[in-house]
Amino acid sequence: MKYSFKKEGEYSYLESGSGTPLIILHGLMGNLSNFDGVFDHFSDLGYQVIMPELPIYTLPILKTNVKNLSKFIKDFVKFKGLDKYILMGNSLGGHIALFHTKLNPVNVIGLVLTGSSGLYENAMGESYPKRQDYEYIKKKAQDVFYDPEVASKEIVDDVYETLNNRNRLIRTIAIAKSAIRHNMALDLPKMQVPTCLIWGKDDTVTPPDVAEEFHKLLPHSELHWIDKCGHAPMMERPLEFNQALEPWINKHFGDNKSL
């Protein structure tokens, strides 16, 4: 892990490397460490890899939605002095990346989506039944991955704590409802940005037909599949994820590392 953790003003983020900015947006219950392999690999290739901690659990409840998280990214890139950048997002992070691109098409030069929401996702449900049942939460966390062993005790504990913390739970439900409201189907055909879709063939949260729909609706998209992989390819199959992304990102941005 070659990145450094920085806290400046209201922003906490990881950063590594220099060159064309690649901004990573984590998912609803994602951890910054989920992208360890991406940080090391692409910073070595000459990209400035940055991952802000999204204020999902600190925004006022009425502002806990996709739109305001997109605005947070706009404020963050302004703070960092960035004008042109690639956005990468997993799950909710992909949805925020899409919404941000809709509002800031001149600034976003590339999109990387993996297990993205924005069209459809199969979540646990708004009420999160049995949230005090640790074994139930463990099974739900394991279902996110093809290999249940990827759902470490640390991951399960984090999800369990989130769903049993009232402040976090009501914001989790608020953002889930917001994701449903902000369906991107009508916006995607208007997005002219090059897009790389990397999907696990065994994703049960945003199943393969969701990836196919993204591919159909986004005019300049490429779709790459990873076998025996669930909802978080960059975490479950980091080597295959990087192998899928590297040719695409170098094809589009390899000669523009000084942007």
Domain boundaries, position 113 = 4-121+183-253
Q: What is the mean pLDDT of the chain?
A: 90
Position 255 scores a pLDDT of 65
pLDDT category of residue 259 using cuts at 50, 70 and 90: very low
The pLDDT tens digits of the residues spanning 205-246 come to: 999 999 999 999 999 999 999 999 999 999 999 999 999 999
Is 173 within a domain?
Answer: no
Position 145 scores a pLDDT of 94
Is 171 within a domain?
Answer: no
Is 132 within a domain?
Answer: no
Is 140 within a domain?
Answer: no
Is 215 within a domain?
Answer: yes
Task: Report d(CA 148, CA 48) in Å as an integer.
Answer: 32
Strand, helix or coil for residue 183: coil
Task: Report d(CA 201, CA 189) in Å as an integer.
Answer: 24
Angle at 72 between CA 66 and CA 74, to 5 degrees: 110
Task: Report d(CA 3, CA 217) in Å as an integer.
Answer: 35
Is 111 within a domain?
Answer: yes
pLDDT category of residue 124 using cuts at 50, 70 and 90: very low
Is 44 within a domain?
Answer: yes
Position 162 scores a pLDDT of 86
Is 220 within a domain?
Answer: yes
For the record, the structure tokens of 163 come out as: 């769903």
The pLDDT tens digits of the residues spanning 164-188 come to: 988 888 988 898 889 888 999 999 9
Comparison of pLDDT for 5 and 94, the residue scoring more = 94
Position 229 scores a pLDDT of 97
Q: Is the separation of the CB atoms in 236 and 37 below 8 Å? A: no
Position 231 scores a pLDDT of 95
End-to-end CA distance of the chain: 25
CATH number at residue 62: 3.40.50.1820
Position 130 scores a pLDDT of 72
The pLDDT tens digits of the residues spanning 6-62 come to: 999 899 999 999 999 999 999 877 666 778 889 889 999 999 999 999 999 899 998
Position 123 scores a pLDDT of 61
Residue listed under structure tokens 């940005």: 193
Position 120 scores a pLDDT of 83
pTM of this structure: 0.92
Position 125 scores a pLDDT of 45
Q: Is the separation of the CB atoms in 228 and 201 below 8 Å? A: yes
Q: Please count the structural domains in the chain.
A: 1
Position 2 scores a pLDDT of 65
Residue 119, pLDDT above cutoff 60: yes
Query: For the residues 145-153, what does the mean pLDDT come to?
Result: 92
